[in-house]
Amino acid sequence: MGDNTEHIWILPLIGGIVALIGLLTPAASVSILYNSVQVWMWGLFSIRQFDYLQLGYITTTRFTQSPVELIISISATLLVFSGALGLVSSANSSRKTGITGKKWITPSILLIVGALVWIIGIEISTQIDVGMSFWEYINPGFGVIGPFLGAILSLIGYAAAKMSPKRPKEVITLKESESLAPYDYSQVPHSFKFCPDCGEKVVDINQQFCVNCGFNFKSFPTSLK
């Protein structure tokens, strides 16, 4: 892998972390005078109201009481959570193996689908239950922006990995003169100190035959001596 792509895995890693952080922050909120409402993707509501009698704020935290909204919230949360963990896991795998790209796409899609499921589902549920638009009065928060941002970072990393030039593979070829023909061992001086046939001491490494039995030293390849 080329030098330009060896650190691209950081983008999906950051994307997965951003999406996980988003689940811990409100996905929608609204403030009216002294009162405010915060909604988490997983169905938690935090309502802060000003008590004029006690001249102080009262905060009520509870989960949604609508079964439809609860199902939508759990489904969307599971999709986003799975996508975020998938990005973190695949990014860590890419850091070790150096392989980038396609395995980041599916977690990114899960992030986008999860966020859309909650955005569309909560809107439809609110209109059915109370006959009003949820997003007309409620502002989106980082909890619903985070998954989109995480998916975008991951897809940017995928695009960068696809567009970056790859280092050409090194191919080793043999020249015509370097063919795999048998090596001519007759031109290599032998290394016998004693004749392998009769045991006679060899005086000169350049001699080709044993002076005692006539054994041909060149008949043995040098690699076998």
Catalogue all structural domains in the chain, each as residue range(s) with its CATH number: 10-163 (1.20.140), 185-225 (no CATH)
The confidence score (pLDDT) of residue 199 equals 74
- For residue range 64-120, what is the model confidence (pLDDT) as tens digits? 888 899 999 999 999 999 999 999 999 998 888 876 778 899 999 999 999 999 999
Give the dihedral sign, CA 211/215/217/223.
negative
Do the Cβ atoms of 160 and 15 come closer than 8 Å?
Answer: no
Q: Which residue has the tokens 């909560």?
A: 122
**Separation between Cα atoms, residue 185 and residue 14, nearest integer Å:** 62
**Separation between Cα atoms, residue 200 and residue 212, nearest integer Å:** 7
pLDDT band at 166 (very low <50, low <70, confident <90, very high): low
Mean pLDDT within 110-134:
92
- For residue range 168-212, what is the model confidence (pLDDT) as tens digits? 444 444 444 444 555 454 555 566 677 877 777 777 767 777 877
**Alpha carbon 51 to its chain's center:** 50
- pLDDT > 60? residue 213: yes
The confidence score (pLDDT) of residue 225 equals 42
Residues in Cβ contact with 187 at an 8 Å cutoff, skipping those fewer than 6 apart: none
Structure tokens at 127: 């209109």
Q: Residue 174: count other Cβ atoms within 10 Å of its Cβ.
A: 8
**Separation between Cα atoms, residue 88 and residue 77, nearest integer Å:** 16
The confidence score (pLDDT) of residue 101 equals 73
203 vs 129, more confident: 129
The confidence score (pLDDT) of residue 202 equals 77
Write down the pTM of the prediction: 0.68
